[in-house]
A = this chain, B = another copy of it.
Amino acid sequence: MHFNNVSEPVIRRMPKYYRQLKILHAEGVDKVSSATLAQLMGFSASQIRQDFNCFGGFGQQGYGYSVELLLNEITNILALNKPYDAVIVGAGKIGHALANYNGFEEEKIYVKALFDIDPKIIGTVQNQKPIYDVRELESYIKEHEIALGIITVNRNSAQEVADRMVNAGIKAIWNFAPIDVVAKVPVENAHLSDDLYVLTYRMNND
């Protein structure tokens, strides 16, 4: 499957459907109506039907959706039906937290190695994942056909790391440095603090 021209807000809602359907599936629920999904997720039922229509609809809405079929469809849409190998550049606290996060392997995303510049940790192993010298980054990405590059270095080095990843053939970048990196491959710049600022706003305005 390949989809074009799906709008950004719709794409960003798909992971939320995916999570909700995984929960329903784990609970053994067979069928779910757009009305029930709407109630569970805080979207309107018509929003949900519109979103699904961007990908062809997923079956007869009057009888409700099959949870398993819907989960399979969305798994395919999000391209989570195949494995991805990843590397983390920057073996600091955030790098370690991500290297230890079990949720990735549930989705068949495998962190194969970390890279750093610190000679004290190069050559050590973190949660069964080796930490290599960042000078080996390009050759490792090429040799192991790594798809996903995760950046957890500081603000000043993030763009350079992104450039090196792309030159070595990485397919997508997930950046945790507090600066937006740009690349010709898909990039997600995580800005954890943005959520925090929404919270401080709401604490004072809700």
Contact = CB atoms under 8 A, between A and B. Distances in A.
How many copies of this kind of chain does the complex include? 2
A201 B103 contact: no
A65 to B, nearest CB: 19
A14 B199 CA distance: 12
Interface string A91-114: 001101100110110010100000
A84 B194 contact: no
Interface string A46-82: 0000000000000000000000000000000111100
A186 B203 contact: yes
B109 A101 contact: no
A11 B198 CA distance: 7
Contacts of A147: 203
Interface residues of A, number: 53
Interface stretch (A15-23, A27-35, A133-141, A158-166): A15-23
Given A96-B93, A107-B193, A190-B192, A199 B174 contact: yes
Closest 10 CB pairs of A and B: A186-B202, A15-B194, A79-B204, A97-B97, A15-B197, A93-B97, A188-B195, A79-B200, A172-B199, A93-B100
Interface of A: 2-4, 6, 11-12, 14-16, 18-19, 77-80, 84, 93-94, 96-97, 100-101, 103-104, 107, 109, 147-148, 171-174, 178, 185-186, 188, 190-206
